[in-house]
Amino acid sequence: MKRCRMWAMRVAVVVVLVPTAVLAKGTFKGTYGTEHFRSNKRVVLCSYGRGDSLFTVGGTQASRKRVKFATVGGTCPDPTAPGAAFPIVLAAAVGTFSSGPVTSPTTYTGGIVTQDLVVTLTGYRKGKVSGTIAGTFTPSTPGTATPIEANVTFAAKCSIE
C-alpha cells in the first residue's frame, strides 16, 4: 500500500514539473465519490508511448491547505494512428485519486485489485485526446474510508513518444 502512495506522489510531482508546453490546454474533471475534481490547463498531463503502448493522463488541483490529484493509465493501440477506431478501451487500466490536507491526503486506487476501472478514449483531434473514466476506487489503506465511484471526463494535449 505504501508503494501506491509513493507512486501517486511521484505522478503528482511529474504533473507539476513537466514543461508547460506539453501540459498546455487540457481539462480533467468529474466526481470521485462526493468530491468534485477539476484540473485545467497547465496542470493536466497526457502522454502516450508508442514503444510500450502505454497511455497516461493525470491532473492536479491544489490550494495552500488542500490537494487533490488523479491519474489513470493503461495500454492501448496508438490513438494518433490514421484510421484509429474509437472508442478505445484501455487494457489493464489502473488509477489513483488523492484528496485531503497537503500533509496527509487520503489515497484511493482503482483497477489494481478489482479490475473494474474502465478508461475509454473517445477521440483524437489536433493533438488532443479525449475520453472518460468510470469505476470504483478503493482506499489504499484499508479501513480508512469507503470505496468511491469515479465519473470523470478528460481532454488533453498529448505528448506522443
pLDDT confidence of residue 113: 67
Q: What is the DSSP letter of 41?
A: G
Q: What is residue 24's predicted lDDT score, i.e. its pLDDT?
A: 47
Q: Residue 145, SS3?
A: coil
Residues of the chain with pLDDT under 70: 1-25, 113-114
What's the pLDDT score for residue 85?
Answer: 94
- Whole-angstrom Cα distance, residue 74 to residue 2? 21
Pairing of strands 159-160, 44-49: parallel
pLDDT in tens, 94-119: 999 999 998 889 999 998 766 789 99
Report how far residue 142's alpha carbon sits from residue 144's, in angstroms, rounded to the nearest whole number.
6
- For 9-40, b/e burial (b = at least 16 CB within 10 A) is eebbeebeeeeeebbeebbbbbebbebebebe
Tell me the three cell numbers of residue 98. Answer: 488523492
